[in-house]
Structures are given as structure tokens and as C-alpha cells.
């Protein structure tokens, strides 16, 4: 689980304008703070658009499509 959290933090920090997480800071708290609509407006990004263009979105979509197809 820890590697997933670190990977998510790195992905967020790769977005221009996102502040780096401080040493010892709770990653969940940090992600909630930096993914707010206020931060989006301040740094002029759209997290939904970034996600929609990501490989994670394509992976999630393919998994959900498979589950829907198999359960029908």
C-alpha cells in the first residue's frame, strides 16, 4: 500500500504548481489539501482533465469495462 501512496504523491508533484510534500507530513492530508478546487483555480489546472488524459484513466476504464461486460 505504501508504494501506491508514494506513486500517487509523485504523480501529483509532477504537475506544475503543486507544492512538494513536507518531510513527515501525512500524505492523505497533503493530497486532500492540494487537490481542492481552490488549488486548481490558483494554479490554473483541471485535475479531471489531467486524469482523463492519464494512463491510469485508461487502465481504470478497461478494468471497469471488463467488469460490466462480464457481469451482463
pLDDT at 48: 87
Q: What percent of the chain has pLDDT over 70?
A: 72
Give the model confidence (pLDDT) of 22-35 as tens digits. Answer: 999 998 899 899 98
Tell me the C-alpha distance between 60 and 50, whole Å.
14
What secondary structure, in 3-state letters, does 10-62 show? Answer: HHHHCCCCCCCCCCCCCHHHHHHHHCCHHHHHHHCCCHHHHHHCCHHHHHHHH
DSSP 63: H
Domain-wise residue ranges, the chain: 2-71
Which is more confidently placed, 51 or 70? 51
Kindly give, in sequence order, each residue whose CB lies less than 8 Å from that of residue 10, ignoring residues fewer than 6 positions away: none
pLDDT at 29: 93
Average pLDDT of the segment spanning 26-45: 91
SS3 for 1?
coil
Amino acid at each position: 500500500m505504501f508504494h501506491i501512496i508514494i506513486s500517487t504523491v509523485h504523480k501529483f508533484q509532477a504537475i506544475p504548481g503543486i507544492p512538494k510534500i513536507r518531510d513527515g507530513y501525512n500524505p492523505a492530508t497533503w493530497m486532500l489539501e492540494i487537490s481542492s478546487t481552490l488549488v486548481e483555480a490558483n494554479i490554473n489546472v483541471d485535475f479531471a482533465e489531467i486524469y482523463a488524459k492519464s494512463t491510469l484513466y485508461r487502465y481504470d476504464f478497461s478494468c471497469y469495462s471488463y467488469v460490466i461486460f462480464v457481469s451482463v
